[in-house]
A and B are shown apart, each in its own frame.
Chain A
Amino acid sequence: MEEILIGIASLVGLALLVLPLFSLIFGLVTRSRISGLAARVGDTESEIALLRAEVMELRTALASARAQAIAVGARTPVRVAPVVVETPPSGADARAVEAEERAVARSLPAGDGTVGSVDVLGRSDGMLKPDQALGGSPQAVGAPLQADGALLQADGAPLQAAGASLQADGASLPADGAVLQADGASSGEVEPGLTGGGEGGRQESAGGATGWGWAERQLAGNWTGILGAGAVVVGTGFFGIFAALMMPPFLRFLLVLAFAGVLGIASVILGRTPAWEALARWVRSAAAAVVLVACVGGVLFTPMRWVTSDVGGVLLVSVGVAVNLAAGLLAGGEVFAALHVVLGLLAVGMLPASASTIAVAAAVAAVGQLAVWRQPRWGAQLAVTAVAFALWHVAWLLRLPVETTDAVRHGLAIGAVLLVGIGGYVTSYRRVLAEPAWDEWGFLLHLIVQGCVAGSLAQHDLGGSMATVGMAAASVGLHRASAMARRGGAAWLFRTDRLVALGLAVGAVATLHRQDVHVVYLLLGATLVAVGWVVNEARRDDRWVLGASVGLAHALGPWAMAAAMIAGSPPHHHVAALIGAAALVLAGSAFAERWQAAEREDGGPRAWLGLGVVAGWWLLGADQVAMEDLGTWAAVVPAVAVGVLVAGRRPWPTDGLEVGLAVVLVHLVAVGGWFVGTEVLSVRTHALSVVLLGGTLGAAAVSGAATRLWGRAVAGTSLAVVLGLLTWRYTVEVSSFVPGVLWVVLSLGWLELSRLDRLAAARDGMRLLGAATFVAFLVRHGLVDLQQELMVGPVSVRGAVEVYAALVAGWWVAATRHDPPGPVAWSVEAALALAALFVALEVPPAWIAPVLAVEALVLVEVGRRIAGLERLIGWAVVVNLAALVRVAVLSSRLVDPGEGWSAWTLSLVAMAVAWGTFLRGRAAAGTEVGSAWMLGPVVAVARGVTRSAGPWLLYPWFAALAVYLAWVFSHGVLTLLWMGECFGMFAAAVWLRDGLLRRVSMAAIFVVLGRLLIYDLQSSNILVKAMVFVGSGGLLIAINALYHRFRDRFEEAT
């Protein structure tokens, strides 16, 4: 009983879905010829007036040209950019336009090739044809001849406009308003639109807007109501349609086929009329789709099922797919082809997974790729085919019966994947090599094809070393293919494939983990592969590939070393770490050499930087090794080697800084001696303190002799360091928090000193020292304070320190917010980081989301009101997103055995506050956002909010709500909830006059409708199903009502 109901409801639902889809697409495609023009009938008057003005201008321009040409007596032909004039079929306006054209034609001398003239074309079938143009030959001299914004310029040289083709559709044109447009394709030397280019562009743009508007009017104005009513009917009448199912399945199958036949005949009839060709194609396409539905239904849909054997089912569906594919490919359009490939795969995918279905699916995809072979511009078709087959393949694997043999599950499937994948890859290569220049779409397409093949093959776990061998082989294959791309001149393709090959090679090593290879060796092996790539690529010019290889080596090498350290006992792990480190030095060296060779001017420092990082890691690794097993010499030898390697490259670029470095070294030695063996504050400690302070002053004197600037810098830095160390040494035993707090106070001291007039010369330096002291506090806080859980009564000392430091950072902000952009201005970010720490560590988990939401609200308000802090609006977006993610992902999981407020309730609070943040973000519109040092992205976000708050603050809100609903509520009622959210989005869009949000909401409605028809129809609980249908239908009707009530706002927003 229920299956029957579901079947009927499915049919009704599919009809509900297919009809508006069909209607929308059909309307979009034919709008320029039929519906779009029909919608413009109301604008005919103004269009005709515009046309009249254009023609008048044209006439003036041409008359002027004629006059000049006659005056000069030249024989140079003049060509005027073609103009297409479409006017209503009848009426005084159309006749007036035609009369104007004739007047223009009459005003010009007949073109005989000897006298300067511009001819208006004769007409045929209501259209003026370019090939009927007669060559006029005026030679214009002097001032440019301007008409409708386009410039026709002649200064003695022959003035040519290709194919003078003032086309006038005249009185016999369709009644669709006047459209004046330029035919750029035939405009030759003259800029498109000598007379109508600007207008043509304008009309195109308006046409685009009309397309959106039309689709929206259809969906919001009509189909929401229709579908809503339909859904309500389906929901409430769920039990009343049983009688319609009395017909035997085979008759139902024939009935559907007959319907397809009717559509096919209609398409033939429509196709005879040129104006209806597009419609005929869609009708033919629909007929083929209906045939496919009939065939699939004949196998799978209970009300239509008449084939029961597996073989018969595959054959029947294959027939349907063949008809479907043929219709799609014969239609001649990419959209049709892609659509029918997807439909074909969907149909095959509905059959029980088996060897025959994957064979048929591969054939469908191969046919789809063949179409691209014939039409190389069909990139989207290739992408759709690749993605559709990859998804199909995953679904096939998931649905494959357990008892399926490995030969089918893996052997046949891999063969199919390789067939489709290699086909797609070759097609993609052929496409690129035909036009090797960089093409974003081509790049994306290539990645899509590769990703689909890789993703499909990855599903076949053959065990053993097959994956390793396969990935290695693929890597080698891609490596060779990239060489072909290089020879073909497609540098980007070479780069893409070479990088993917690198990834595959590293991946091949990673798969060895299934052979129980220790992770240390996995990482080491991957590092060595990357290093090998570096050595190989260093000989070439492509710095992207080289840079990526070096980057990968640097990324993996440290992990190899770190893993070796963590792994512990076996000494060979440490040896492996050393080998990895040496490989890194080799990679860095090759990179440096290559980079310096390519950019001798500025390559050095960057190369040194890379080498320095490597050397640092090596020393770290060596140090660990030395401490563990191999003795101190192991640290010394690589250190000397790195030193020789680095020093041998070029002289030290210190510019006198070595003095300062030497001073720092002395300090370090002194401080080291200061602490060794001094567990308590002894006389020795105090004496060393005095020595240290004295040494600081002496160092300042020595370094100050070099340059004044360096002297101040070294002295100030030394003093800051010594003060910080002394503070720590004398207070840490009181409490581990105290040094940090005192460092914050010290930073405040540096700031206030910098504000003294008599120290104005050292102002920037002091602020930097203060900022550095604050950074030292932050580092200490992260490493030491965070682990302290000390409480004084109910107060967390750690939290109190964070609040205090944030207040001092705020003081910094107030004092420096008008400074030029620089690192000191990051005090804002320091305060934010402390706030984030406080929230993360001190706030109960369930409260984090609302607290973050409130923080975002405050940030928006502060950024909006205080000059110099506008970037806080950008940070507000980040914090708000964190709150929303917290609500969406985590809140539903929070459990607290002693909880008062539930996470659910607090999530709602957070959502309410986030809505308020959006409202305040709207109020920030027009705020000028100042720049900030190295914070370009944040500033850009803030500027984005001031331009339009919706995409930054409101859209994430709706996204979070959707996810929250999905993870908190039962999936049975999710469609209803989501439809309610769609209604909310739609209402918000109307309220805010936000066109984009409205379109997003319409798209969301479409998606939810799909869920209603695909998911909810299959749900088992008929009562829930009825409720969801009725509720969703009611909401759709409400949306429809809202649309009609506030239609004027839609026009404004669009």
Chain B
Amino acid sequence: MSARAVGLAALVLGGAALVAVAARSGPGDDRPSLAPAWQLVGRATQTADRAMSQASGIDEADEGAFGDELVRSGGWVRRDGPEQELVDRVLADLTTDRRKPFVYRGFVADDPQINAFAMPGGVIVVTTGLLRVMPDEAVACVVAHEVGHVELSHTLDGARSQIRHRGPLAEIAGALHAVLMRPVYSQAAEAEADTYAFAAIAASSWDKQGCVRAFEVLAEGERSGLRRELGSHPPAALRVERARAAVEL
């Protein structure tokens, strides 16, 4: 038998084996989605954006000071009660290996929306709406995701970008950038923060299923269609898939 025949047979058998392996993984989601490819494109724009933002000369020490100012000007104050304690406990658990040279601060916002966000300088805000619908381990995953935004400098890059986009021409560029590229970049950043969160939760004592649960909750209110594909965050169904994969690892 010629080498070509052996090679061809190996490829065909390999294909058959792969089909068998894929069959074991289950049916999966056959709906086409632009989001993963969109995120890949976003990595390139993210790199360019980050490279430009790093030229702004603002460093992490400035970020810390910026965070202090945000807390002061935004009127964020710590609340008493179990919700604040939960956020504090989660933050303490998840920032032991932090790389940023400032202390993380968690706040609870009285808002019925299911939301959480991070600001420069390690300021993490979680809404009461989220805290009410998510179990503690899911809250931990959400907070880990937000810590990821800070540790991965997404928030710092955002602040730098804002500063870079001062001035009319720069504002135009910023507006166009926001319209054309920001969703791409944002999806890439969100996916990056998700990956960080999976790893952070895995390295902590929190239940890894919390991430699956968190994204399942988020998926319940998600929009559909093109807005889902090109939105600021990856589709929640996709995030659930990734969380499940991370749990299985």
User: Which A residues form the contact surface with B (CB < 8 A)?
Assistant: 454-455, 457-461, 467, 471, 507, 510-511, 513-514, 519, 522-523, 559, 562-563, 565-566, 568, 731-738, 741-742, 744-745, 748, 752, 780, 782-784, 786-792, 794-797, 800-801, 804, 807-808, 811, 837, 840-841, 845, 885-886, 889-890, 893, 895-898, 967
Partner of A797, one of B25, B179, B195: B25
19 extra interface residue pairs, beta carbon distance < 8 Å, beyond A732-B30, A889-B51: A458-B170, A460-B167, A467-B168, A511-B171, A513-B172, A731-B19, A733-B27, A734-B22, A736-B30, A784-B31, A787-B36, A787-B241, A788-B25, A792-B21, A792-B24, A840-B40, A885-B47, A893-B153, A897-B94
Q: Which residues of B have CB within 8 Å of A800?
A: 18, 21
**Can you list 17 A-B contacts (CB < 8 A)?**
A461-B166, A513-B171, A523-B179, A568-B227, A732-B30, A736-B28, A737-B28, A738-B22, A784-B30, A788-B25, A789-B238, A789-B241, A790-B241, A796-B245, A886-B47, A889-B54, A898-B203
Q: Which of B155-179 contact A (CB under 8 A)?
A: 166-172, 175-176, 179
Q: Is B141 engaged at the interface, CB distance under 8 Å to the other chain?
A: no
A895–B196 touching, CB < 8 Å: yes
**Binary CB contact string for chain B from 172 to 210 against chain A (1 if under 8 A, 0 otherwise):** 100110011000000000001001100110110000000
**5 cross-chain pairs, A with B, having the tightest CB-CB distances, nearest first:** A458-B169, A789-B245, A786-B36, A736-B28, A783-B32
Report whether over half of chain A's contact residues are helix, strand or loop; otherwise say mixed.
helix
Give CA–CA (A789, B152) in the complex, Å: 23
Q: Which of A519, A790, A801 has the most CB of B within 10 A?
A: A790
Q: Which of B1-42 contact A (CB under 8 A)?
A: 7-8, 11-12, 14-15, 18-19, 21-37, 40
Give CA–CA (A890, B23) in the complex, Å: 37
Closest A residue, CB atoms, query B192 = A845
Measured between C-beta atoms, what is the minimum distance from B184 to chain A in Å?
13
Measured between C-beta atoms, what is the minimum distance from B142 to chain A in Å?
16
B47–A559 touching, CB < 8 Å: no
Give CA–CA (A180, B37) in the complex, Å: 66
Partner of A788, one of B11, B28, B248: B28
Give CA–CA (A458, B168) in the complex, Å: 5
A790–B25 touching, CB < 8 Å: yes
Measured between C-beta atoms, what is the minimum distance from A518 to chain B in Å?
11
B175–A513 touching, CB < 8 Å: yes
Q: Is B63 engaged at the interface, CB distance under 8 Å to the other chain?
A: no
B47–A807 touching, CB < 8 Å: no
A735–B27 touching, CB < 8 Å: yes
Q: Which of B29-69 contact A (CB under 8 A)?
A: 29-37, 40, 43, 47, 50-51, 54
Give CA–CA (A519, B167) in the complex, Å: 19
A889–B200 touching, CB < 8 Å: no
Q: Which residues of B have CB within 8 Å of A788?
A: 25, 28-29, 241
Partner of A794, one of B11, B22, B180, B249: B249
Partner of B15, one of A566, A742, A787: A742
Please report the number of residue pairs spanning A and B whose Cβ atoms sit closer than 8 angstroms: 181
B22–A563 touching, CB < 8 Å: no
Q: Is B244 engaged at the interface, CB distance under 8 Å to the other chain?
A: yes
Give CA–CA (A742, B99) in the complex, Å: 46
Measured between C-beta atoms, what is the minimum distance from A231 to chain B in Å?
26
Measured between C-beta atoms, what is the minimum distance from A194 to chain B in Å?
57
B167–A741 touching, CB < 8 Å: no
Give CA–CA (A577, B175) in the complex, Å: 19
Q: Which residues of A have CB within 8 Å of B18?
A: 737, 741, 800-801, 804
Q: Which of A471, A562, A731, A804 has the most CB of B within 10 A?
A: A804
Give CA–CA (A496, B249) in the complex, Å: 58
B169–A507 touching, CB < 8 Å: yes
A897–B175 touching, CB < 8 Å: no
Q: Which residues of A have CB within 8 Å of B196?
A: 895-897
B199–A896 touching, CB < 8 Å: yes
B23–A735 touching, CB < 8 Å: yes
A795–B21 touching, CB < 8 Å: yes
A734–B245 touching, CB < 8 Å: no
Give CA–CA (A734, B23) in the complex, Å: 6
Q: Taking A797-B21, A811-B11, A896-B199 as contacts, is the C-beta distance between A790 and B26 under 8 angstroms? A: yes
A893–B227 touching, CB < 8 Å: no
Give CA–CA (A438, B46) in the complex, Å: 39
